[in-house]
Structure 1
């Protein structure tokens, strides 16, 4: 059985800041976004600027050189715009940020665009199966959290430098679970704020 299935192995990257993209209209409506390229709304832009300013102040307080880190972003536009707003607050050139497809959101396949109540009406048996096993359930034409975790584990294993990462809620759940050594079944229910940053110090998780 792989470490992604057991949840026992702990991947320990160097210092890292993880920021979820700002809010979109679909986030506000509770719709499953996945790979659908939904833009930020005005609230999301405020959240991104807030996180950029908070990161700037955090770096200044801790004496961290913003130019000494690697920057990574999901290629979806809501993550890219969040990155651009954050870089503007930091005073970092946005073109230094590497787009990495491994940081794409978990895909919900044919379910993208629907809310959970809508899916419960359209496909009640599948909605019940998802509720019973959010970790292993694969939506029609989609991806499970187990599958996502394999992708993120492979990406984490490549990190060799302190990094800032701008990505998505599903990715943030898996990353939290890995860094905190949580049981797999707990990962899909983790909190995924859009107005705070996850900071991994190398030994513990903090929120800024």
Structure 2
């Protein structure tokens, strides 16, 4: 990944986010706050990039919450809303059988599983055939990161942002897994490391 003006944006809030539910690959739409957050990030990018915005490549996760966030960003930048690519590698980490539940609900069913996850959050796979660890997710997106060139704006998910921080930001496994990923801020990668805007 060429680290020069690579911007990462997490999708805006959904009702699952508001309720503390694990979304993973469930296709949950943005809520009103999520649309406001996406607009805020687009407005910030417009002030920051100005006319340069049209020089950027735009790539989103195919899940609708990421695509809607990207459309709002592009509208705020004065660009055609649908002028972006999607890439399956940017889809959120799979939480397997836990998707749709809160961690409290999972703990009530299986406290040992929650304890195992907390002991090694980066490498833990939730139960279920489709489940991934953050390490698995990183392996999935590293080829995409290697392809990225300067002046790219990505819209994806909280888990994906942790993997990007681990790879491009050289953040350790524990710190990457525990990092809070806001939905109303942007992460930019430059030569001196990652910065929240």
Query: TM-score of the superposition, structure 1-length normalised?
Result: 0.89
Cα distance per residue 1:131-185 (max 9 Å; x no partner): 1111111111211011001112121011124200000000111112223312212
- Give the RMSD, CA atoms, in angstroms: 1.3
Structure 1: how far apart are the matches of 2:133 and 2:2? 23
In structure 2, runs of 5+ residues without a counterpart are: none
Residues 72 and 163, structure 1, Cα contact 8 Å, conserved in 2: yes
Pairwise CA distance, 1:12: 4.7
Instruction: Say which is worse superposed, 92-101 or 42-51, in terms of deviation.
Output: 92-101
Structure 2: how far apart are the matches of 1:30 and 1:71? 29
Tell me if 1:53 matches 2:40: no
Structure 1: how far apart are the matches of 2:97 and 2:53? 40
Cα distance per residue 1:33-87 (max 9 Å; x no partner): 0000001000000000000000000113xxx611111100000000011111111
Residues 20 and 197, structure 1, Cα contact 8 Å, conserved in 2: yes
Structure 2: how far apart are the matches of 1:176 and 1:189? 11
In structure 1, runs of 5+ residues without a counterpart are: 1-10
Residues 2 and 150, structure 2, Cα contact 8 Å, conserved in 1: no
Query: TM-score of the superposition, structure 2-length normalised?
Result: 0.94
Cα distance per residue 1:93-126 (max 9 Å; x no partner): 1332100000000010110000111101111221
